Chains A and B, each alone.
Chain A
Amino acid sequence: MTRLRGMNKFVGMNKSDEMNKSGRVACPRPSNSGGKPLFLTCSLFSFVIFLICLVASVVVAQVQEEEVRSDDPVIEQRLANLSKELRCLQCQNQTLADSPAGLAADLRREIRVQMKAGKSDQQIIAFLTQRYGDFILYKPRVTFTTYLLWFGPFVLLLGGLYVLFTYIQQRRDQIAEEPLTAEEHRRAQELLASLPGKETL
């Protein structure tokens, strides 16, 4: 709460800038921007987005502060790519890249160590699946047990198409009837003629 309140103070710090000459409310901006023209007109929406970004950047910064990052940018980039594909087992709907959980930080640290030791991404994935199983992979592997998962939708699609075409076939057979008899034709004419305000065919 205190952090949020502090944020509001920062956002609203330059009250004098909030109204420009045209009378519209301008986006709050840091006070050191001095006499530069106001280039943004502010809607509530962009204000909220701005606020969310600020809060998010603080939260992310806090999480990353606890972690010892590698001084090698290549490793950090590889880690960023790889950890997007991996599931955090503590908060199962987050990737290893996003999760602030302790286990995720430990696993990122382990991945950094292994990358530094020259292990390939494949070797690291093998290391992790040997310990945590395929569940750690966000993209399930194509194995016997996942055939239904991978190919089930296509089977359903084919089944649906089959049902659709047989249904259309049936309908076509039903619609293609024999022509009206003379008696039926006369009755149809009669009925149509009896409709108020309608011309006969």
Chain B
Amino acid sequence: MLRYLIPLVLFLALAIFLAIGLTRDPHELTSVLINQPAPAFRLPELKAAGKTISNEDMRGKVWLLNVWASWCVACREEHPWLIKYAQSGAVPIYGLNYKDRREDAIAWLEELGDPYTANAVDFDGRTGIDYGVYGAPETYVIDQGGMIRMKHVGPITPDVWSEKILPVVQQLNRQGTSK
């Protein structure tokens, strides 16, 4: 009996592991920066020429950093949702305009609307490397103390927003006010 049971159990265990593996997206990597301080940057602002923007400017509030570019197709997909969620006032969204041309980026925002409180221009992608960006769009949730609390790779959809991002934002806001 045992000689038939052991291979069966081994087979089932393997099948379960493989089944779990199939449901995972190999392109989605867990960021090593979760619960680490958000890498520092001071970059030119996209629309306000001559001004700069730094991660330190957002200290004391929960904010989103959304990595985007006008050449990024999936960014276009998430854009209407970003506008909607920015208007809801749940959390300020800051953009990291990643490896883009300034005029293209500004034209893109004028055409599709601008959900961003402000945009940092990462022309050569160097800040992107610090944040471990490997494909736009990517969105980071950063807390009052400047710690990265969550990262989402890929476009933001209503599901992602209501199940992943918003709960984290709300929890961080609660923790922040209770202290």
Residues of A participating in the B interface, judged by any CB pair closer than 8 Å: 89-90, 92, 102-103, 106-107, 110, 129-133, 135
Contacts and interface: CB of A to CB of B under 8 A. Distances in A.
Nearest 3 pairs of A and B residues by beta carbon = A89-B134, A133-B32, A131-B132
Nearest to B99: A102
B177 interface: no
A90 B39 CA distance: 21
Do most interface residues of chain A lie in helix, strand or loop, or is the interface mixed? helix
28 contacts: A89-B135, A90-B134, A92-B26, A92-B27, A103-B135, A106-B124, A106-B125, A106-B126, A106-B129, A107-B129, A110-B126, A110-B129, A129-B32, A130-B32, A131-B32, A131-B33, A131-B130, A131-B131, A131-B132, A132-B32, A132-B132, A132-B134, A133-B29, A133-B30, A133-B31, A133-B32, A133-B132, A135-B29
Contacts of A133: 29-32, 132
Interface residues of B, number: 20
A63 to B, nearest CB: 17
Contacts of B30: 133
A85 B26 CA distance: 19
A129 B32 CA distance: 8
Nearest to A133: B32
Contacts of B32: 129-133
A119 to B, nearest CB: 14
Contacts of B29: 89, 132-133, 135
Do most interface residues of chain B lie in helix, strand or loop, or is the interface mixed? loop
A118 B108 CA distance: 41
B127 to A, nearest CB: 11
Contacts of B132: 131-133
Contacts, number: 41
B137 to A, nearest CB: 14
**Which of B30, B129, B133 has the most C-beta atoms of chain A within 10 angstroms of its own C-beta?**
B129
Interface string B110-128: 0000000000000011101
Nearest to A128: B129
A125 B129 CA distance: 13
Contacts of B125: 102-103, 106
A80 B39 CA distance: 28
Nearest to A163: B6
Interface in B8-45: 26-27, 29-33, 39
Contacts of A135: 29
A38 B48 CA distance: 68
A109 B106 CA distance: 27
Contacts of A90: 134-135
A110 B26 CA distance: 25
B72 to A, nearest CB: 11
Nearest to B6: A163
Given A102-B99, A106-B129, A110-B129, 9 more contacts: A89-B135, A92-B27, A103-B133, A103-B135, A106-B99, A106-B125, A110-B126, A129-B32, A133-B32
A133 B36 CA distance: 13
